[in-house]
Amino acid sequence: MTKLTLTAHPMLLGFEQLEQMVEQATKSGKDGYPPFNIEQVSDTTYRISLAVAGFGENDLAITVENNKLQIRGRQAPVDEARIFLHRGIAGRQFQKNFVLADGVEVTGAVTENGLLHIDLTRAQPDHVVQTIQINGG
């Protein structure tokens, strides 16, 4: 059985990057920690919310590079003098990656009630019709 890819179809030209983005997204979605929501706020805005109870603002890092949004969390080591009778709040380090489409930008981030909210905006594409001159030879 042959695997059909976007680059294998003769009518789809220049979609190699899209195929790589889909591959990245499927690899990064394996871990369920921390839980998160993705909300469409309007036609052009989105919000990603991650449950980050126990993480302070200094424990979190958000970067965007090559259309990849990366959120990392790492807490400082727990004080050895603290004695937990029960420890149910996960505090392990994490890394979440999201692949962003061209034109999607991170516009802000805020922590609120144990959640990290990351706001994104998608630029409206310009609809351009281009006429190509045919040069005779």
Q: Name the stretches of the chain with pLDDT < 50.
A: none
Look at residues 32, 107, 98, 31 and name the one whose alpha carbon lies nearest to residue 65: 98
Pairing of strands 60-65, 68-73: antiparallel
CATH architecture of 33-122: Sandwich (2.60)
What is the predicted pLDDT for the residue at 102? 87
pTM of the model: 0.74
Q: In what order do the strands lie in the sheet with 60-65?
A: 60-65, 68-73, 94-99
pLDDT value at position 22? 72
pLDDT score of 84: 85
Q: Which pLDDT does position 3 carry in this prediction?
A: 62
Distance CA 62, CA 128 (A): 34
pLDDT value of residue 26: 67
Q: Please give the pLDDT value at position 30.
A: 63
